[in-house]
Every structure is written in structure tokens, then in C-alpha cells.
């Protein structure tokens, strides 16, 4: 004989089983962009991007320097590839402000994007004029000494290998 207690027990067991089946064991985001830190403008000391679709988090030497006529924004990490670094450099800049800048070949008055491994000994890939990248400075604060923004570029090695740097973001004090 099926009692009310037995029916209730079967119902609760079925509900628990459905709940367990519908829960995903994989809590990692499906989109690699979702693993990157949020875009901020408060000097959070963050620097991250995707390199060929894979997350790159700077865990070593995140920094920005500004001298009045040049700026360098960079982040590095040591991993199985070696010491990998992404840097954005601008030399002989007349006026730096919150704006968009092309990342091209290294030249006076311009900005360059660089992807290097082991200080350029293993890999030295840079932006080129034919395929410029984009740096967007969203905060440049000379009172709080904060520079924040986003970047995307394709770095090309001397051997012609392309490295797609996308969804870049930084929020650093200088």
C-alpha cells in the first residue's frame, strides 16, 4: 500500500535528483573574455587581455610610466612560455589625453604595441603601419596619477607570425 509519506518521499527524492542533474559542475565561463578583470578607472593595478583568444593576466611587473613626452604601459607574467610581456609605448608625444590612438610601427610622436617573450630574445612581435591597433585612454589623471584604458592590436614577428591581442584592459598608477 502506498502511503502519503511514501509518495512525499518519492517526490522529494525526484526533486533532489532533478536539481542535481540540472546543476553544472563546470563553473568556468564559456567566453574567455569573462575571465578577465572588469574594466575600471580607479587605479586597481590591473592589466589583462586575450592573446590569440587565450587569457593573459599580468602577475609580474604591471606598470605605467609617464614622463611628459613619453608613456609606457605594460604587464608581464612568467609561465610555460617564459617571461611574456605586453607593452604599449608612446615616444615624443606632444599631448596625452583621454582619446583614441593608433598603435603602429615605432616612430617619434606615435604609439606602438609589443608582444615579447624573454625580453624579445625568444619572440619580438610588434604592431605595423599596415595593420594598426587601437589604444583608448579612458582616464588620464595627473592629480591622482592614474592611467586607464583598453587596447587591441595584432603583433607581427620578423618571421611573419601574427599574435592577436584583444580585449586588453589596464588600470594603473604611474
Return per-residue pLDDT of the chain as tens, 174 residues: 555 554 444 444 444 434 444 444 556 568 999 999 999 999 999 999 999 999 999 998 899 999 999 999 999 999 999 999 999 999 999 889 999 999 999 999 999 999 999 999 999 999 999 999 999 999 999 999 999 999 999 999 999 999 999 999 999 999
Residue 94, classed as helix, strand or coil, is: coil
R_g of the chain computed on alpha carbons: 23
Residue owning grid cell 590612438:
101
Closest CA to 94 of 107, 109, 106, 105: 109
HSE toward the beta carbon, residue 125, CA cutoff 13 A: 20
Per-residue confidence (pLDDT) for residue 26, from 0 to 100: 54
CA angle in degrees (0–180, nearest 5) for 92-94-114: 45
Cα(38)–Cα(70) distance, rounded to whole angstroms? 27
Decide if 137 contacts 96 (C-beta within 8 A). Answer: yes
Q: What are phi and psi of 35, to 5 degrees?
A: -85, -15
Per-residue confidence (pLDDT) for residue 30, from 0 to 100: 86
Per-residue confidence (pLDDT) for residue 15, from 0 to 100: 40
- Mean per-residue pLDDT over the chain, rounded: 88
Per-residue confidence (pLDDT) for residue 60, from 0 to 100: 83
Per-residue confidence (pLDDT) for residue 1, from 0 to 100: 54
Amino acid at each position: 500500500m502506498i502511503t502519503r509519506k511514501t509518495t512525499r518521499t518519492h517526490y522529494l527524492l525526484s526533486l533532489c535528483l532533478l536539481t542535481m542533474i540540472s546543476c553544472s559542475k563546470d563553473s568556468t565561463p564559456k567566453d574567455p573574455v569573462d575571465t578577465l578583470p572588469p574594466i575600471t578607472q580607479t587605479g586597481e593595478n590591473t592589466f589583462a587581455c586575450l592573446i590569440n583568444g587565450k587569457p593573459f593576466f599580468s602577475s609580474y611587473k604591471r606598470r605605467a610610466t609617464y614622463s611628459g613626452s613619453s608613456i609606457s604601459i605594460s604587464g608581464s607574467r612568467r609561465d610555460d612560455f617564459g617571461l611574456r610581456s605586453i607593452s604599449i609605448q608612446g615616444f615624443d608625444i606632444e599631448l596625452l589625453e583621454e582619446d583614441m590612438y593608433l598603435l603602429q610601427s615605432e616612430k617619434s610622436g606615435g604609439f606602438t604595441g609589443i608582444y615579447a617573450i624573454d625580453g624579445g630574445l625568444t619572440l619580438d612581435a610588434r604592431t605595423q603601419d599596415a595593420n594598426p591597433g587601437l589604444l583608448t585612454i579612458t582616464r588620464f589623471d595627473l592629480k591622482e596619477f592614474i592611467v586607464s584604458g583598453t587596447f587591441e592590436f595584432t603583433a607581427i614577428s620578423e618571421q611573419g607570425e601574427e599574435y592577436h591581442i584583444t580585449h586588453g584592459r589596464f588600470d594603473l598608477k604611474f
